[in-house]
A and B are shown apart, each in its own frame.
Chain A
Amino acid sequence: MSVSAESGALPTAGRAPDPVLSLRGVHKSFGAVHVLKGVDFDVFPGQVSALVGDNGAGKSTLIKGVAGIYPFDSGEFMFEGKPAHISDPKHANALGIEVVYQDLALCDNLDVVANMFLGREEVRGVGLDESTMERRASETLSGLSVRTLTSVRRTVASLSGGQRQTVAIARAVLWNSKLVILDEPTAALGVAQTEQVLALVERLAANGLGVVLISHNINDVMRVADNIACLYLGRLAAQIPASEVTNSQVVELITTGRTGDIGLQPDVADAPDTVTPRAGA
């Protein structure tokens, strides 16, 4: 809560930190289906940017483009102020982009350390360097102030849903990441565990990372987000500071693409692929 209260405003030119990720006029088609029609999207370090939109609005396509799973067809892709062309997931990881998918992708039969280092194990000689991995895993978890895990040597199978989400997020920040994308991190969690994960999301931003939070839960979004980007039918309806909108305005943006004078204008929203509307009011 404190994070969004302190730095609620979208940075304006001049005092703003440079965005860690900046997309301009991004397009993506799958065959004849034009999914992203010129989307602009900015993520700032130390801030939580919520990405909202109804099913089919293009949220998944947008993050898969950033993650390198389906590279964008056209548009400007700036990462840390430099143009980047990300062609595959490994490339995205190397730049410092990590995605935590909804189904977490953890191996139940392995312990927390093994899962956090899966595919990128620390090796000394021919063997695994378990000591270093265990120490780094513990340090990362304590750096995120995680106190819910009693042992990093427990198998993931024995963890609760919130603890698993914690492990998946900790894995994402283990690699000097600069941008962490969380896909519906609270979708399957109870009240207390949702609270834990949201607190963790705030801590990620407090540690200086750029965080993208995809969620259908408007309350979660309003609780942690510094700014909200709303997609509507493949276009960016608006990216606005969370402090400047209410819950119902966000819902209106999601369902109709505009609210008051924020968002897409009626003729643009329904027009075929013409001009790209500018973000914000």
Chain B
Amino acid sequence: MSTIVENPLEEQTEEGAGLGQSIRNYWERVRGGELGSLPAVAGLLVLIVVFTALEGDTFLSAFNFANLINQSAMIIVLAMGLVFVLLLGEIDLSAGFAAGTAAAVLGVTLTQRSWPWYLALAATLLTGVVIGFLIGILVSRLGIPSFVVTLAAFLALQGLMLLVIGEGGTIPIRNDSILKIMNANMSPLAGWILFAIVVGGWAVLSLMKRRSRHASGLPTENMSVFLAKLIALGVIMGAAVYILNQERSRNPAVTSIQGVPYVVPLILILVVCLTYLLSRTSFGRHVYAVGGNAEASRRAGINVANIKLICFIACSTMAAVAGILFASRDNSVSPSTGGSTTLLYAVGAAVIGGTSLFGGRGRIIDAVIGGLVVGVIANGLPLVTQESGIAFIVTGLVLLIAASVDALSRRRAQATGRA
């Protein structure tokens, strides 16, 4: 075997290292400026502790936990789409109104035209694809900066949305299938089955990877590290399912509200699929490559323009998914759907989670963690103060802290030769 991987003297490689060594390696990387989602996770814990100390009874209730998931879901899905664009070092300012426009198409087709829900959903997703295609063509083929193109789209889509929705302002959504996404829950048993699928699936995939690496004669992850990760995942997932399975109706005799909201498995599926796409396929590899060094990618034979086009399509399509969630949660579509602070919260979520605005660094899970941070602020602050001004200021400060952490870790990384 090669001496390259097995030389343990200079720098212990993570593969094959024990639990203690793995933690030390991780800490080394953090000190070297590769923070990943650590600041976001730390921030999330701090926020939870603060809100628990201030308003523990309400904030920690099962009802509020489910509420938090519902509030964060749209931001998380939007942020997942934005990760694709941010990885290229580009930006999509129009994603919020792309969500709104797609939701408007959903409202018109479903309620006014009485299409079946699946056709209406297809039309909604197609709206996202078309918007992303137009933006992507302008950015990748004509070379117009994405900031300008999506700023124009931000304005134009806002107008398009008004035209689609038409006079009257608000389109109600009455279709049960659509409403269920954000308003219905899985049965407690289904929740535990979901838990088993996620934890078991992760374990099986990890063990398969171990075997494949072992078969190729490559060093494998230490068993203790694997078990530690498995236990951590199991405890976090188990606690979440347990809390969500509690009765959270104020009046259980009339209606029973318990179980994992349907939007949770939806987000999990998106996380798994998109993470696979970005980290395990050559398309995903090329996205990171273009974000890291577009010229090097071009010389390596990667079609940079196509990669950009697909990323913008992915972003707007994910925005359309977020639009469906908006319509489902609000039971209606209005001209303000996807407007106001939606987009900024979503960009904030991606950046807070650890996606770099400079391109080339970020993961789908960042969107989830960052979205939860934004969601916890939006959820917890109103319990503490009714002053909405405070909420804006706090969210702004958190975003600023996240961007500073990003910039500082880059400087740190450059100083230690890891940039």
Contacts and interface: CB of A to CB of B under 8 A. Distances in A.
A5 interface: no
A105 B300 contact: yes
B292 A105 contact: no
A150 B11 contact: yes
A131 B220 CA distance: 11
Contacts of B1: 138
B37 to A, nearest CB: 16
B300 A118 contact: yes
A119 B291 CA distance: 14
Given A109-B360, A153-B13, A134 B4 contact: no
B13 A134 contact: no
A131 B361 contact: no
Interface string B297-312: 1011110000000000
Contacts of B285: 110, 114, 118, 121, 128
Interface stretch (B64-72, B77-85, B276-284, B368-376): B276-284
A146 B418 CA distance: 21
A115 to B, nearest CB: 8
A281 interface: no
A252 interface: no
B281 A126 contact: yes
Contacts of A157: 413, 417-419
Given A107-B293, A110-B289, A158-B417, A121 B282 contact: yes
Interface in A72-108: 89-90, 93, 101, 104-108
B295 interface: yes
Nearest to A118: B300
B291 to A, nearest CB: 7
Nearest to A119: B300
B215 interface: yes
Contact of A160 (B3, B288, B299, B417): B417
A135 B218 contact: yes
B269 interface: no
21 contacts: A89-B301, A106-B293, A107-B296, A114-B288, A118-B285, A118-B297, A118-B300, A119-B302, A128-B285, A135-B216, A138-B1, A141-B4, A150-B7, A150-B10, A150-B11, A150-B13, A151-B13, A152-B4, A157-B413, A158-B32, A158-B418
A128 B4 contact: no
Contact of A142 (B2, B216, B217): B2
A160 B418 CA distance: 10
Nearest to A155: B418
A5 B333 CA distance: 80
B15 interface: yes
B213 interface: yes
A244 interface: no
B204 interface: no
A131 B218 contact: yes
A223 to B, nearest CB: 26
Interface in B215-238: 215-218
B301 A119 contact: yes
Given A138-B4, A157-B413, 18 more contacts: A89-B301, A104-B296, A105-B300, A107-B360, A108-B292, A110-B288, A110-B292, A114-B288, A120-B300, A121-B282, A127-B280, A127-B281, A128-B280, A138-B1, A142-B2, A147-B4, A151-B5, A153-B13
Nearest to A104: B296
A139 B2 contact: yes
Given A118-B302, A141-B4, A153-B15, A131 B291 contact: no
Given A131-B213, A157-B413, A107 B4 contact: no
B212 interface: yes
Contacts of B7: 147, 150
Contacts of B216: 131-132, 134-135
A1 interface: no
B247 interface: no
A149 interface: yes
B289 A107 contact: yes
Contacts of A158: 32, 417-418
B4 A142 contact: yes
A138 B1 CA distance: 8
B293 A128 contact: no
Given A106-B293, A108-B292, A134 B218 contact: yes
Contact of A120 (B4, B295, B297, B301): B301
Contacts of A187: none
Nearest to B87: A109
A207 to B, nearest CB: 16
Contacts of A134: 216, 218
Contacts of A146: 4
A170 to B, nearest CB: 10
B282 A128 contact: yes
Nearest to B286: A119
Contact of B296 (A106, A131, A141): A106
A153 B213 CA distance: 14
Shortest 8 CB-CB contacts between residues of A and residues of B: A119-B300, A107-B292, A109-B292, A105-B296, A109-B360, A131-B216, A138-B2, A142-B2
Nearest to B34: A155
B276 to A, nearest CB: 7
A152 B5 contact: yes
Interface string B245-282: 00000000000000000000000000000001000111
A180 B345 CA distance: 50
Contacts of A126: 281
A160 B300 CA distance: 22
A181 to B, nearest CB: 14
Contacts of A155: 418
B288 A107 contact: yes
Contacts of B413: 157
Nearest to B216: A131
Interface string B371-387: 00000000000000000
Nearest to A145: B3
A109 B361 contact: yes
A253 B215 CA distance: 56
Given A118-B289, A135-B216, A150-B4, A128 B361 contact: no
A34 B330 CA distance: 70
Nearest to B280: A127
A138 B5 contact: yes
A268 interface: no
